[in-house]
Homo-oligomer: A and B are copies of this chain.
Amino acid sequence: MSGNTYGRLFTLTTFGESHGEALGAIIDGCPPGLTLSAADLQLDLDRRKPGTSKHTTQRREADEVKILSGLFEGKTTGTPIGLLIENTDQRSKDYANIADTYRPSHADYGYDQKYGFRDYRGGGRSSARETAMRVAAGAIAKKYLYEQFGVTIQGYLSQLGPIKLAYKDPSAIPTNVFFCADVDKLDELDAYMTELRRQQDSVGAAVSVVATGMVPGWGEPIFDRLDAEIAHAMMSINAVKGVEIGDGFAVVSQKGTEHRDEMSVEGFLSNHSGGVLGGISTGQDLLVTIALKPTSSITTPGRSINRQGENIEVVTKGRHDPCVGIRAVPIAEAMLALVLMDHCLRHRAQNAGVQPPLPPIPGRVAD
């Protein structure tokens, strides 16, 4: 398969281009009996959808999702769930000028090298518009994980350009357009973004995701380690250039005595590992951070080449997010949910009925 399916037991397969007629997805492997409606998906779709603030792309898409199959009398049946979102606000003519152009740091050149040609309208399949379907599928996974296990997944913006954002007040995250838990920084963020737009530039960001209420024992040894699959899922999000679990790159300069998470019968005494050891969840909170590059679609001219092999100057028009990291928050949550969903099913398949020698110790580190 050419890469449009995620998961082994709970699979998401998506289709659709930025300026095509519709986006769609099939979710296969959802257990039967889950109460579900389109409204459950819409909540997260609305968090991701464009045009909700002056700091994101001005493309207007309702991103209204329809569930076409897999439900009966309000419950999942165990058969595939078909999803559809119709595109409504394509402006393909904006892109006619890039048909022959390779925009720097876009997928354009690689696609042409791979396929010989490409649907250039809005980036075609390489556009982050495709992530709407991930968010929809992630919402199903989130609901299952919460209802079956009490696992909750919360993402937030942890850095925007030079501005570091603490995980101070999770309850504030839904109340601002930055998915920011550090309310004291909201004005600084707003000012920074306003200035950025004025400069016709874009900026990178870091997004963190936390899963709490984790179950120990999820994940597989060796290649399908839980953290390996999280890294895969996160790096598959557009613009992501780095993934960290727990302390991430800080471990490079840590010593063993400092890094190791000691344990007691009252629980773990620290969480440097980020909730995974040997590829398997420990029950500690899962801590994941990703780095997102500044969007390459900026109106400041840049050097490039065209399909005719000539040097050219490029100015990327269209409607774009000056910081793609912001809207990546619900996408990162969705991807983590998909990984956990797959692994809770995989765990169940092989280890149903296994009795661990002692009950799980608490996974949250006391503040």
Contacts and interface: CB of A to CB of B under 8 A. Distances in A.
A277 interface: yes
A110 B278 CA distance: 8
Interface stretch (A39-47, A53-61, A246-254): A246-254
Contacts of A2: 9, 28-29, 78-80, 220-221, 224, 346, 350
B303 A269 contact: yes
Contact of A352 (B246, B260, B352): B352
Contacts of A68: 15-16, 20-22, 24
**Number of copies of this chain in the oligomer?**
4
A227 interface: yes
A136 interface: no
Task: Pick from A17, A84, A277 the residue with the most CB of B within 10 Å.
Answer: A277
B251 A282 contact: no
Contact of A221 (B125, B221, B269): B125
Interface stretch (A166-174, A176-184, A304-312): A304-312
Interface residues of A, number: 167
Contacts of A24: 24, 26, 68-69, 82, 84
Nearest to A121: B72
| 5 closest residue pairs by CB, A with B | A107-B278, A3-B220, A3-B224, A232-B232, A202-B256
Given A14-B26, A221-B4, A204 B259 contact: yes
A298 interface: yes
14 contacts: A1-B28, A2-B80, A32-B350, A109-B216, A109-B263, A113-B280, A114-B354, A162-B253, A203-B255, A225-B235, A260-B294, A263-B303, A264-B311, A346-B349
Interface in A107-131: 107, 109-119, 124-126, 130
B204 A253 contact: yes
Interface string A223-239: 11101111111111010
